[in-house]
Amino acid sequence: MLSKESKIRVLENFYGIDYVFFGKPVGKVGNCCPVVKEEYVSIKGALLSVFVEMLRLMDHTPQSIEEKVDSKALNEMARKSAKNSRYASQKIVTTEAARKDIKIELKEALSENSKADVNKLVETKIREKAFRLAIDNLLVARALTEAKNLKAMNEWTGKIVEDSYKILRDNLCETAMMLLYDESAE
């Protein structure tokens, strides 16, 4: 069972994910595409379910929280965490290693569709990479610093949880991109 502090962290991240992608709660994103929003929320819930399992495996033990955390404080914590995650993501996405990853993804995308608009594709791949890094930073980076049993993630169960996390994270980023940039979703 998760501690009170771990549960608060999960709730903070539930709200923080929206701030990473949209800078506001998903409910305040235009009313253009309710089906895509519903899919986004479903995937976000599934991702956080896997994240909870990850926290259990790693024996997540954050610092105790003495003050009362209400919804206003929770949203403020989420905004701050999301801002920090986006900032860290921007720094990482400009590294040479990230550029190489993006080039590989571009080559794969162009091999699938040689008629794609290269400029738009480059922009999309950079945004996708930045979003994936920001979500990883928001959810995993801090959890790793607050965990007692990191070796559990190297075991069979941990690897399954990590693979599930990556699949859901990628799906969440893709759905968020649809909400943000895909004109066909409107």
Question: Tens digits of per-residue pLDDT, 119-131?
Answer: 888 888 888 999 9
| Contact (Cβ atoms closer than 8 angstroms) between residue 135 and residue 20 | yes
Q: For the chain, how many structural domains are there in total?
A: 1
Q: What is the pLDDT of residue 183?
A: 44
User: What is the residue range of 46's domain?
Assistant: 4-185
What average pLDDT does range 156-163 have in this prediction?
96
Q: Which distant-in-sequence residues (6+ apart) come within 8 Å of 19 by Cβ?
A: 25, 78, 79, 81, 82, 83
Query: CA 55 to CA 72: how far, in whole Å?
Result: 24
| Contact (Cβ atoms closer than 8 angstroms) between residue 179 and residue 36 | yes
Question: Tens digits of per-residue pLDDT, 63-100?
Answer: 887 778 888 989 999 999 999 999 999 999 889 998 89
Question: Tens digits of per-residue pLDDT, 6-56?
Answer: 999 999 999 999 999 999 999 888 767 789 999 999 999 999 999 999 999
pLDDT band at 139 (very low <50, low <70, confident <90, very high): very high
Q: What is the pLDDT of residue 170?
A: 96
Q: What is the pLDDT of residue 88?
A: 93
Question: Tokens 């900032």 sit at which residue?
Answer: 87
The pTM assigned to this predicted structure is 0.88
Question: Tokens 């549960």 sit at which residue?
Answer: 7
Q: What is the pLDDT of residue 182?
A: 58
Residue 172 token pair: 């969440």
